Chain A
Amino acid sequence: HGPYQPHEPGYGLDQPGYNPYEDEIPDPQARMLAIKNAKAYLLKTSTKSGLNLYDHFANILTKILDEQPTNTVDIIENISKDVKWAQFRKKMDTLRDEHLIPPTFEAAEKCKALFMKEGGEEEHDELEEEMGQPSLPNVMETAFYFEQAGIGLSKDESYYIFLALKNLINVQPIQTCRFWGKILGLEMNYIIAEVQLREGEEEEETGEEGDETAAEGQKEMGEAEEDEQKEKAPEPPKSTYKPPPEVPKESNGTGTNKYVYFVCNEPGKPWVKLPPVTPAQIVCARQIKKFFTGRLDAPVVSFPPFPGNEANYLRAQIARISAGTHVSPTGFYQFPEDEEEEEGADTYEENPEFEPPPVAEMVESLATWAHHVKGILKQGRCVWINPAQKSEENDEEDEEEEEEEDEEQQEERGPPLLTLISEDEGMKNIPAWTAQASTNLIPEYSVAILQSNRWPGAYAFASGRKFENIYFGWGHKYSPENHIPALPPPAEAEFPSEPGITETVDPTVEEEMAFKAAQEEALAEAEEGEDEEGEDD
């Protein structure tokens, strides 16, 4: 017998330990041993992490079979990593869960509170009937029209704002109310409502002013006492600097302060009333450009230093935006018949005979829109006032000096109310307004949309008799050039140069010697003169 071929029975018999039937009945002992070795190897715990490969594989397979992700083979490594991480996560899970719950639920509670107020309305209804119905703006309708133009907030947010405005009306005595818009900030945003209060509310303001004058009176008393003490010691030269007379702010209900504004950070949070704006704040706001942080009490650090905090800056920007971009279809408002012809016209009323021009016309020509808010003059007010008139309170001497300055300040005239916006200047070659129709596909129902280029974010729409203005943006004016901060004013001259104060060069040694010699000569001459006189006697 030679070497057996594999297909012959008996192949391999000559090798020790070889079982002819191995391919049919594997030797349980050897195989079991191999399996046990392999399993023992897999169970060997790693020295680093205390895990072992066997358990790890079991966990991975369990997870895969449970979750059955798509394309498992591509992400197998990540699954493996996650299973390993899961070993360590268990202890920290409970802590994390508790931490994560609050923010979402707090917000949901606040929103729920908005909805809850509907239950308390029944009591208010009776009161409202006595005092007259305040007009709640239909925010959802406005949002619908603006949505045609692609502008606006999500429906959820609009509805929350709607409810928050309703809340505001229930709390404050309000005559008319309007959703003005939303200004974005760094940390939080502002939602702003434009409101006209009923007349009783304005008395609170005068109370505050009375307090201020009382404080000033006390300050003057204190200064008078100090002056008396100072007069004993030689006083430093008095400064000839007189600060420019302060332009008084416009009273509530007129001009820039025609409306009162309430803000809140999110619907559901309490509404805060913004203080009325002073002309100095508007003048300063024109010169600076700052982002809003979202907190009303944040200081506004800028040059020139802004008189006030973020609430004042916000109010000033709102006033500028309203004055610059609140428009309505021409003819919707008209002057009442018995008004004077000066520019002091402040009131307007709805024109009952207004016929809205078709949408196509409103888009094509800007002459169909008109401002219905007065523009702000350079002085910072809507109606120019001569600051010298206030000098009646000061001494008579000051009056005389200020009259001379009056000649330099000319009376400012702003554009009269109800000017057409086609007269707005553009910047360089950009017109001040861009008009579009909301859709070209269905002209019967399209809405005329107006975008402002001077204040990016200000929009207005008109459709038939309905029109509305709104603002969504950061709250800054558009300028083609970069913003240049104001240069600091030149340093004041310290004191007038008088001979008593001016420094002169110290005399040099030669000059001193010459002076001394001259003095001695003069003395000698005087002595000789006396001697001579003495001799004469």
Chain B
Amino acid sequence: LAASLPLVQRDYRFERVWFWGCIQGVRGAYYIAEGLGPDRAAPRSRLYSLNCLDWSLLTPATKEMLALAEQVKGRFQGDPSFEYSLAEIDSETAARLVQSGKEPVIKEEARLIATIEQIDRAVGIVPRGAFVKTPLGSVHENRHFEGLSLVEAKKLSSYFHFTEPVNLKNKTLLEKADLDPATDFLDSLEHDIPRGSWSIQLEKGATVVVLRSLLWLGLTFYHVPMTKQFGYVYFGTGEKNLDLPFML
């Protein structure tokens, strides 16, 4: 990885490249990397590789892909050209596809794209204050961010989803007055449904705070309080944990 990711950065002219995680299929695993240009909130380009050496770019996710991928259940196979036959899963969409002239299948690559997009949207998190929004709308890393304090790090409200905010406008005016528009422009984790879908733990004698998502099992976020280090990585099977309400 350390050898191939800088090459990817050079080839695709990203400003930042990082290793997103690994989705384990039955016969092989997909290693995923993400790259970004100067605006951090722009749609990210994703690359996948089967052996950590050769990376292939994935097309951005479309709504169709997302809708189809939600229907497909079960493990990933490990072969990007594997085709899931939609006729078994959802005959209506299969019929529609046949009418529009396409085959009623969904390729594993499309499912992969949609899954990564879903995971990023649902559980991609950053600590509060790590990113600032300029008045022009573009989002930058906050070079003045020095990390959360230990007390703040234990609270769910100090972490934000790094996607378009959904709940921000629903807050009461009183809460909005406390917000700082430069840093608080994202949804916080407090109001995630179902409650308790995040597990916060302090490890190594309170030097590292680790958040694990219970909705997408395998998503782990770490942050070292009072430093600038944070990040998240996904190691798992790429399936949503729909049994979450029963398990809490």
Within 8 A of B (CB), among A71-94: 71, 74-75, 78-79, 82
Q: Is A443 an interface residue (CB 8 A)?
A: no
**Which residue of the partner chain B has the closest CB to A476?**
B247
Q: Which of B110-118, B170-178, B203-211 is near enough to bind chain A? A: B203-211
Prevailing SS type, chain B contact patch: loop
CB distance from B29 to the nearest CB of A (A): 9
Q: Does the CB pair B26–A485 fall under 8 Å?
A: no
Taken together as a complex, chains A and B put the C-alpha atoms of A8 and B225 apart, in Å, by 70
Which residues of A are found within 8 Å of B247, using beta-carbon distances? 289-291, 476, 483
Q: Is B121 an interface residue (CB 8 A)?
A: no
Q: Does the CB pair B205–A104 fall under 8 Å?
A: yes
Q: Is B73 an interface residue (CB 8 A)?
A: yes
A187 and B144 contact, Cβ closer than 8 Å, known pairs A104-B206, A289-B246: no
A428 and B74 contact, Cβ closer than 8 Å, known pairs A74-B143, A100-B150, A184-B212: yes
Q: Does the CB pair B27–A78 fall under 8 Å?
A: no
Q: Is B214 an interface residue (CB 8 A)?
A: yes
Which residues of A are found within 8 Å of B202, using beta-carbon distances? 103
Q: Is B196 an interface residue (CB 8 A)?
A: yes
A434 and B26 contact, Cβ closer than 8 Å, known pairs A103-B202, A104-B207, A480-B73: yes
Which residues of B are found within 8 Å of A100, using beta-carbon distances? 149-151
Q: Is A312 an interface residue (CB 8 A)?
A: no
Q: Does the CB pair A485–B205 fall under 8 Å?
A: no
Which residues of B are found within 8 Å of A485, using beta-carbon distances? 246
Query: Which of B27, B150, B199, B202 counts the most A-chain CB atoms under 10 A from its CB?
Result: B199
Q: Does the CB pair A111–B205 fall under 8 Å?
A: yes
Q: Does the CB pair B27–A434 fall under 8 Å?
A: yes
CB distance from A83 to the nearest CB of B (A): 12
Q: Is A474 an interface residue (CB 8 A)?
A: yes
Within 8 A of B (CB), among A38-77: 69-71, 74-75
Taken together as a complex, chains A and B put the C-alpha atoms of A430 and B143 apart, in Å, by 47
* A156 in complex: contacting residue of B73, B204, B237, CB < 8 Å: B204
A430 and B26 contact, Cβ closer than 8 Å, known pairs A71-B143, A186-B199, A188-B201: yes
Q: Is A482 an interface residue (CB 8 A)?
A: yes
Within 8 A of A (CB), among B20-79: 24, 26-27, 73-75
**Which residue of the partner chain B has the closest CB to A75?**
B144
Taken together as a complex, chains A and B put the C-alpha atoms of A188 and B201 apart, in Å, by 7
Taken together as a complex, chains A and B put the C-alpha atoms of A229 and B207 apart, in Å, by 66
Taken together as a complex, chains A and B put the C-alpha atoms of A431 and B144 apart, in Å, by 50
Q: How large is the interface on A (under 10, 10 to 19, 20 to 34, 35 or more residues)?
A: 35 or more
Taken together as a complex, chains A and B put the C-alpha atoms of A96 and B225 apart, in Å, by 15
Within 8 A of A (CB), among B179-212: 196, 199, 201-202, 204-207, 212
Which residues of A are found within 8 Å of B201, using beta-carbon distances? 187-189
Q: Is B243 an interface residue (CB 8 A)?
A: yes
Taken together as a complex, chains A and B put the C-alpha atoms of A508 and B130 apart, in Å, by 83
Taken together as a complex, chains A and B put the C-alpha atoms of A79 and B142 apart, in Å, by 12
Q: How large is the interface on B (under 10, 10 to 19, 20 to 34, 35 or more residues)?
A: 20 to 34
**Which residue of the partner chain B has the closest CB to A485?**
B246
CB distance from A370 to the nearest CB of B (A): 22
Which residues of B are found within 8 Å of A482, using beta-carbon distances? 242-243
Q: Does the CB pair A291–B26 fall under 8 Å?
A: no
**Which residue of the partner chain B has the closest CB to A433?**
B26
Taken together as a complex, chains A and B put the C-alpha atoms of A187 and B248 apart, in Å, by 12
Q: Is A360 an interface residue (CB 8 A)?
A: no
Which residues of B are found within 8 Å of A69, using beta-carbon distances? 143
Which residues of B are found within 8 Å of A430, using beta-carbon distances? 26, 74-75
Q: Is B217 an interface residue (CB 8 A)?
A: yes
Q: Does the CB pair B237–A107 fall under 8 Å?
A: no
Taken together as a complex, chains A and B put the C-alpha atoms of A434 and B73 apart, in Å, by 19
Q: Does the CB pair A474–B217 fall under 8 Å?
A: yes
**Which residue of the partner chain A has the closest CB to B27?**
A434
Taken together as a complex, chains A and B put the C-alpha atoms of A453 and B74 apart, in Å, by 11
* B75 in complex: contacting residue of A99, A453, A483, CB < 8 Å: A453
Taken together as a complex, chains A and B put the C-alpha atoms of A185 and B206 apart, in Å, by 17
Which residues of A are found within 8 Å of B75, using beta-carbon distances? 430, 453, 480
Taken together as a complex, chains A and B put the C-alpha atoms of A434 and B237 apart, in Å, by 13
Taken together as a complex, chains A and B put the C-alpha atoms of A317 and B242 apart, in Å, by 20
Q: Is A106 an interface residue (CB 8 A)?
A: yes
Taken together as a complex, chains A and B put the C-alpha atoms of A74 and B27 apart, in Å, by 49
Taken together as a complex, chains A and B put the C-alpha atoms of A476 and B201 apart, in Å, by 20
Which residues of B are found within 8 Å of A105, using beta-carbon distances? 205
Kindly supply a per-residue 1/0 record for chain A positions 134-161, scoring 1 wherever the CB is within 8 Å of any chain B CB and 0 otherwise.
0000000000000000000000110000
Taken together as a complex, chains A and B put the C-alpha atoms of A251 and B20 apart, in Å, by 48
CB distance from A388 to the nearest CB of B (A): 35
Q: Does the CB pair A480–B74 fall under 8 Å?
A: yes
Kindly supply a per-residue 1/0 record for chain A positions 419-445, scoring 1 wherever the CB is within 8 Å of any chain B CB and 0 otherwise.
000000000111100100000000000
Which residues of A are found within 8 Å of B206, using beta-carbon distances? 103-104, 107
Q: Does the CB pair A106–B237 fall under 8 Å?
A: no
Which residues of B are found within 8 Å of A291, using beta-carbon distances? 214, 247-248
CB distance from B150 to the nearest CB of A (A): 5
Q: Does the CB pair B246–A456 fall under 8 Å?
A: no
User: What are the 10 closest A-B residue pairs judged by CB atoms, nearest first?
Assistant: A107-B205, A103-B206, A483-B243, A78-B144, A186-B199, A104-B206, A291-B247, A75-B144, A104-B205, A482-B242
Q: Using A79-B144, A107-B206, A290-B247 as known contacts, list a sample of 5 further A-B pairs with CB atoms less than 8 Å apart, ordered by residue number in A.
A: A70-B143, A100-B150, A289-B247, A428-B74, A430-B26
Interfacial residues, chain A to chain B (CB-CB below 8 A): 69-71, 74-75, 78-79, 82, 96, 99-100, 103-108, 111, 156-157, 184-189, 288-291, 428-431, 434, 451, 453, 456, 474, 476, 478, 480-483, 485
A and B contact pairs by CB, cutoff 8 A, 15 listed:
A79-B144, A96-B149, A103-B202, A103-B205, A104-B206, A157-B204, A186-B214, A187-B201, A291-B214, A428-B74, A453-B75, A474-B217, A476-B247, A480-B73, A482-B242
